[in-house]
């Protein structure tokens, strides 16, 4: 009986070890697969350079041409996880810091457009603060949000101002989204995007807090937006070098 117990314990230990080895091998195979993918940039189709974050055990791809950095799709979190991450945010009109940030954002581009009447905020979040600020200025504002305002009521109209704040870092295909936004833009209109820019340094990137949000999967610089705008028939009007870029028809 004692012998049987000893054999059973050993068998269980061996099974556990085998499972660890199996997981380790799978990880190596997965990495190898990614490196062999010849991953092209999702924006400009240039061959990217893989960047491994050993701490978070994630792989990113860096584009040497447009400077876009994107997370390997194997590490993209589920929609449920994405939603639960957003529910941690306190983004309402009562949050003074948040409102100030949006007022500064509006000030940055508002002089670029004469007498705007219609705005559209793409990715408006749980509390549509930006649209309320536009309405205070006398504009009408449509909103859309994948989770909080998912009816696509914006589709049958065009807009003088299109905003998208803290959205582009969540997108799997920013080129497709920008093309869609451009199709809704009036001839003299502007698109204003807010997303924190990376510094185009691998070392800085690996130490960057912004990357630690698991729902942030794509990272930009002003150069990325130059390339994106060019592909979409837009041009960069101005950027602040930190987080805001303003685009219009070329
Ligand atoms: Zn690129």
Tokens of 65: 């041409």
Indicate the average pLDDT of the chain: 89
Is residue 248 scored above 70 in pLDDT? yes
Q: How many whole angstroms from 174 Cα to the centroid of ligand 1?
A: 11
In whole angstroms, give the CA distance from residue 60 to residue 203. 13
pLDDT reading at 53 higher than 60: yes
Model pLDDT, residue 212: 87
Q: Average pLDDT of 25-48?
A: 74
Specify the range with the lowest mean pLDDT, choosing from 21-25, 77-81, 170-174: 21-25
**Contact of 190 with 161, CB cutoff 8 Å:** yes
What distance in angstroms lies between residue 181's CA and the mean position of ligand 1's atoms?
20
Q: Which of 82-91, 190-199, 226-235 has the lowest mean pLDDT?
A: 82-91
CA of 207 to the centre of ligand 1 (A): 22
User: How remote is the CA of residue 161 from the centroid of ligand 1, in Å?
Assistant: 27
Q: How remote is the CA of residue 227 from the centroid of ligand 1, in Å?
A: 8
- Assign 204 to helix, strand or coil: helix
Q: How far is the CA of 70 from the centre of ligand 1 (A)?
A: 10
d(CA 219, ligand 1 centre) in Å: 11
Ligand 1 center to residue 192 CA distance, Å?
A: 21
Which spans in the chain are helix H?
2-36, 79-86, 96-110, 129-136, 174-183, 202-206, 222-232
Which has more confidence, 200 or 13?
Answer: 200
C-alpha dihedral over 132, 134, 137, 138, to 10 degrees?
-90
* Helices first, then strands: H and E counts in the chain: 7, 10
Q: How far is the CA of 9 from the centre of ligand 1 (A)?
A: 54
The Cα diameter of the chain in Å comes to: 89
d(CA 215, CA 83): 9
Give the Å distances, CA to CA, from 138 to 30, 115, 135.
53, 10, 5
State mean pLDDT over 217-239. 98
User: How far apart are the CA of 104 and the centre of ligand 1, in A?
Assistant: 29
Q: pTM of the predicted model, to two decimals?
A: 0.83
Per-residue pLDDT band for 20 (boundaries 50, 70, 90) equals low
Q: How far is the CA of 228 from the centre of ligand 1 (A)?
A: 9
Contacts 24+ apart (CB under 8 A), 100-107: 102/129, 102/130, 102/133, 102/165, 103/133, 105/130, 105/163, 105/165, 105/192, 105/194, 105/244, 106/130, 106/133, 106/134, 106/137
Per-residue pLDDT, 235: 98
Q: How far is the CA of 224 from the centre of ligand 1 (A)?
A: 7
Centre of ligand 1 to C-alpha 225, Å, is 10
Q: What is the pLDDT of residues 101-146, one digit of tens each?
A: 999 999 999 999 999 999 999 999 888 899 999 999 999 999 999 9
Residue 197 has pLDDT above 90, yes or no: yes
What's the 64 CA to ligand 1 centre distance in angstroms?
7
Cα dihedral value 109, 113, 114, 119, nearest 10 = -90
pLDDT at residue number 82: 80
For residue 65, what pLDDT band results from cuts at 50, 70 and 90? Answer: very high
Q: Which two tokens stand for residue 81?
A: 């996880």
Lowest mean pLDDT: which of 48-57, 82-91, 174-183? 82-91
């Amino acid at each position: 009986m004692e012998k049987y117990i000893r054999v059973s314990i050993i068998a269980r230990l061996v099974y556990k070890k085998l499972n660890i080895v199996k997981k380790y091998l799978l990880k190596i195979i997965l990495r190898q697969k990614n490196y062999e993918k010849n991953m092209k940039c999702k924006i400009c189709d240039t061959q990217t350079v893989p960047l491994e974050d050993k701490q978070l055990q994630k792989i990113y791809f860096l584009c040497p041409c447009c400077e876009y950095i994107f997370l390997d799709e194997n590490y993209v979190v589920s929609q449920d996880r994405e939603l639960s991450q957003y529910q941690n945010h306190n983004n309402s009109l009562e949050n003074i810091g948040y409102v100030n940030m949006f007022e500064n954002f509006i000030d940055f581009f508002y002089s670029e457009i004469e007498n705007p009447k219609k705005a559209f905020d793409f990715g408006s979040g749980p509390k549509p603060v930006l649209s309320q600020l536009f309405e205070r200025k006398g504009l009408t504002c449509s909103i859309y949000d994948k989770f909080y305002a998912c009816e696509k009521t914006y589709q049958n109209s065009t807009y003088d101002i299109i905003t998208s704040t803290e959205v582009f870092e969540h997108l799997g295909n920013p080129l497709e989204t920008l093309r869609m936004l451009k199709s809704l833009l009036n001839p003299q209109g502007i698109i204003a995007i807010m997303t924190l820019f990376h510094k185009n340094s691998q070392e800085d990137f690996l130490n960057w807090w912004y990357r630690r949000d698991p729902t942030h999967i794509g990272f930009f610089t002003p150069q990325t937006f130059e390339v994106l705008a060019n592909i979409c028939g837009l041009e960069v009007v101005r950027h602040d070098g930190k987080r805001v870029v303003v685009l219009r028809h070329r």
